[in-house]
Amino acid sequence: MRVGVLTGGGDCPGLNAVIRAVVRKGVQEHGFEFVGYRDGWKGPLEGLTMPLGVEQCRGILPRGGTILGSSRTNPFGIEGGVEQIKDNLASAGVDALVAIGGEDTLGVATRLAELDVQVVGVPKTIDNDLSGTDFTFGFDTAVNIATEAIDRLHTTAESHHRVLVVEVMGRHAGWIALHSGLAGGASAVLIPEQPFDIERVCAFVETRFETQYAPIIVVSEGAVPIEGGEMTLVSGEKDAFGHVRLGGIGDRLAAEIEQRTGKEARAVVLGHVQRGGTPTAFDRWLATRFGLQAIDAVAEGDFGTMMALRGTRIERVPLSEGTAELKLVSPEEYAEAMVFFG
C-alpha cells in the first residue's frame, strides 16, 4: 500500500513525532511505502510531494514544526479542488492519506472521507479545542512556554511595580490562558468563553497592588469585553477558512488598565513563540502514540476515523465526531479557577 502523509493548519510541536511514528511502523511492520505531501492540503491539490521514508525521519523527534510544511489551503474553497485531489492521488498511486491537523484540516478530511477518499485523521492544535479527544499534542508545549514567560514576567513586574498583560493564543477557546495562568499564578485570566468586565479586572489590579504584589493578567487573543465594551479586537483579514485574524487585545487591555487605575501597564504578546521549538516529553509521547495507532487504522482499513486520547488510552472515533464542535472551557471549569484570581 502507498500512503500519503500531510500536515495542515498552524504548525505545532509534535508534528514531526507523528510523521516519524507513522512512517517507521508503516515501513517496518506493514511494509507500506510513503509519499510526503507538502504544505497541507495544497500538496495533494497541486501534486507537491517529497520522499518520505525512514531515512527522512531520522533525528526529527525533538524538532518543532513539520518537515512537510503546512498551509491553510481549503480545497473546498477552490473550484474543482476535490476532483483535483482525487486525480492527483490516483496518478501518484496513493491508496490512503494520513491527515494531521486541527479543526480546519480535519474538517476537510471529514468531508473527503464522505466522498470516498480513504483518510485517517490525527488531531493536533496548541489550542486543545478539538472535541472527541481529551488532549491534542502541541497544547502541553504551548502551556509550558506561556507558563515560563509568566514566571519570568513576575520578577520584572515586581521590580518596576507594573501591571503586565500577557496575551496568549486562543481564538475561540481559552485552554492555554487558563492552564498557564493558573500554573503561573496570574491575578486574572480572561478567555473567549467568558466575556470580561474591565472594571472587575481593574479591581483585581488594585487588590494586588494593595498587597505589594505586581499583577499579571493573562488574556486569550480571542477574549472580548462584556456587551457594550468598546475594545477593538480584530483586523478585517480572513484566511481560506473564513477566520478573521485576531490581535491587539493585550495592548488595548493594558492601555485601559493604565487609564483607569493610574498604574503603569505593559503588554507582552507571546504570539508564535508558543508554536515553535522543542516539544515537551508529553507531546512527543502523545504524538508518537497517535501516529502508531493511525497507521494501524490504515492497515486495518478503518478509514474516516480520528485518533483520540480518552483517559490514558488511544481510541478511534469517527472524524465527524472529532470535528463536530469545538471543545470550550465550561463555566464550571472557569469558576473553579476563579478562587485563585484577584
Query: What is residue 317's three-state secondary structure?
Result: strand
Q: At 57, list the grid cell.
A: 525521519
Contact indicator for 283, 138 with CB cutoff of 8 Å: yes
101 Cβ neighbours under 8 A, 6+ residues apart: 6, 7, 8, 9, 40, 109, 121, 122, 123, 124, 125
Q: Please tell me the total number of residues recorded for the chain in this structure.
A: 342
Alpha-carbon span 319 to 103, nearest angstrom: 10
127 belongs to the catalytic site: yes
Using alpha carbons only, give the angle 49, 53, 56 rounded to the nearest 5 degrees.
85
Return the closest-CA partner of residue 137 out of 125, 129, 147.
125
Residue from 127, 140, 283, 296 carrying the catalytic annotation: 127
Return the closest-CA partner of residue 186 out of 169, 200, 172, 165.
165
341 Cβ neighbours under 8 A, 6+ residues apart: 186, 187, 188, 189, 204
Element (H or E) spanning 307, and its range?
A: strand 305-310
Alpha-carbon span 154 to 208, nearest angstrom: 12
Q: Which neighbouring-strand residues pair with 269?
A: 167
Contact indicator for 290, 307 with CB cutoff of 8 Å: yes
Alpha-carbon span 241 to 255, nearest angstrom: 32
Alpha-carbon span 46 to 247, nearest angstrom: 32
Q: Which residues are catalytic?
A: 127
